[in-house]
């Protein structure tokens, strides 16, 4: 009997609290219909940002300040990158964006993901976030293996693979060596795709488009295949506000599209 009683009074108290919260919520809502520019930016599609000059100015201001303070050191003030750091405005993407998108919302979410969680980021505020491969949860992750140290290929085979990559990227290559390299290519498909067009979920670059992260010369290509590469972009979710990250994603996408 007493447990039924306390159950009932518990219900009454919870119901009263719930009703009080509802009316408080209503009050807050009716008094604060004017959301901050940051809130509006976070909830707006790229189309509604472009259609609202005040919001568009806010987005541009946040993005340009963050770029000169946080991104220019690596990606350059004009965001065109340098060896090992990608150009962010050439519409050639390593991560997530497949070129088959039919609207602007998906690619901007991919950029928000990359900027928030970084690439191969290992600086996790909460140690439990470290995943089995050593990166933080949600960071973009994969590795270009260093085949020189793996004992899979000998020096001739590494040179043959180099000629095949040069051929894929339209550089002058030794045709016979490239044909031998092509026979070894299946091991590379997982991240660069059967035809070398790249694989966005693993950040494996397109090797056929003439855009090169590290360089298209023979010496650099051989070095990448032999030594591997694991470049890092920091996780900006550790330091930048969500509205700034959204502004960066919208701004970078627009610049990459020529805007």
* Least CB distance to ligand HEC at residue 45 (A): 19
Strand, coil or helix: 239: coil
**Tokens 């750091």 belong to residue:** 85
Tell me which residues in 171-210 interact with ligand HEC (CB under 6 A). 187-188, 190-192, 202-205, 207
For residue 199, the cross-strand partners are 204
* Least CB distance to ligand HEC at residue 171 (A): 11
Q: Is 196 left (phi over 0), alpha (psi -120 to 50) or beta?
A: left
**Tokens 């994603």 belong to residue:** 249
Angle at 199 between CA 175 and CA 246, to 5 degrees: 140
**With binding defined as CB under 6 A, does residue 116 bind ligand HEC?**
no
Long-range contacts of 77-84, Cβ-Cβ distance < 8 Å, separation of 24 or more: 79/252, 79/255, 83/213, 83/214, 83/215, 84/213, 84/214, 84/229, 84/231
Among 49, 111, 112, 256, binds ligand HEC (CB under 6 A): 111
Among 59, 225, 250, 256, binds ligand HEC (CB under 6 A): 225
CA–CA dist 145, 152 (Å, integer): 11
Length of the chain, please? 259
CA–CA dist 194, 203 (Å, integer): 15
* Least CB distance to ligand HEC at residue 230 (A): 5
How many Cβ atoms from other residues are within 10 Å of residue 249's Cβ?
A: 23
For the chain, what is the radius of gyration of the CA atoms?
25
Which part of the chain contacts ligand HEC (CB under 6 A), choosing from 15-23, 39-47, 124-132, 225-233? Answer: 225-233
| x/- letters, 43..72, toward ligand HEC (CB under 6 A) | -----------------------x---xx-
**With binding defined as CB under 6 A, does residue 95 bind ligand HEC?**
yes
Comparison of 50 and 187: residue with beta carbon closer to ligand HEC: 187
Among 115, 136, 159, 235, binds ligand HEC (CB under 6 A): 115
* Least CB distance to ligand HEC at residue 240 (A): 6
Among 41, 62, 233, 243, binds ligand HEC (CB under 6 A): 233
**With binding defined as CB under 6 A, does residue 147 bind ligand HEC?**
yes
Q: Which positions lie near ligand HEC, rule CB under 6 A?
A: 66, 70-71, 73-75, 84-86, 88, 93-95, 111, 114-115, 119, 142-145, 147, 161, 165, 187-188, 190-192, 202-205, 207, 212-214, 221, 224-225, 229-234, 236, 248
């Amino acid at each position: 009997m007493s447990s039924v009683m306390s159950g009932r009074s518990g219900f009454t108290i919870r119901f009263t609290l719930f009703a009080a919260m509802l009316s408080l919520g209503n009050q807050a809502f009716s008094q604060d219909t004017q959301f901050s520019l940051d809130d509006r930016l976070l909830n707006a599609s790229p189309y509604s940002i472009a259609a609202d000059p005040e919001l568009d100015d806010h987005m541009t201001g946040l993005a340009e300040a963050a770029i000169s303070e946080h991104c220019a050191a690596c990606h350059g003030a004009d965001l065109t990158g340098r060896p090992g750091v990608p150009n962010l405005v050439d519409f050639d993407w390593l991560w997530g964006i497949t070129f088959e998108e039919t609207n602007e919302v998906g690619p901007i979410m991919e950029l928000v993901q990359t900027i928030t969680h970084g690439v191969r980021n290992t600086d996790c505020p909460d140690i439990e976030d470290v995943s089995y491969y050593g990166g933080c949860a949600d960071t973009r992750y994969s590795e270009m293996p260093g085949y020189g140290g793996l004992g899979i290929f000998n020096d001739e085979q590494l040179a043959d693979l180099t000629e095949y990559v040069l051929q894929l990227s339209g550089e002058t290559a030794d045709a016979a060596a490239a044909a031998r390299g092509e026979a070894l290519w299946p091991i590379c498909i997982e991240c660069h795709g059967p035809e070398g067009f790249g694989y966005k979920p693993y950040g494996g670059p397109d090797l056929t488009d003439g855009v090169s992260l590290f360089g298209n010369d023979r010496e650099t290509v051989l070095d990448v295949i032999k030594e591997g590469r694991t470049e890092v972009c920091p996780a900006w979710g550790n330091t930048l506000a969500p509205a700034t990250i959204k502004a960066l994603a919208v701004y970078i996408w627009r610049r990459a599209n020529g805007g």
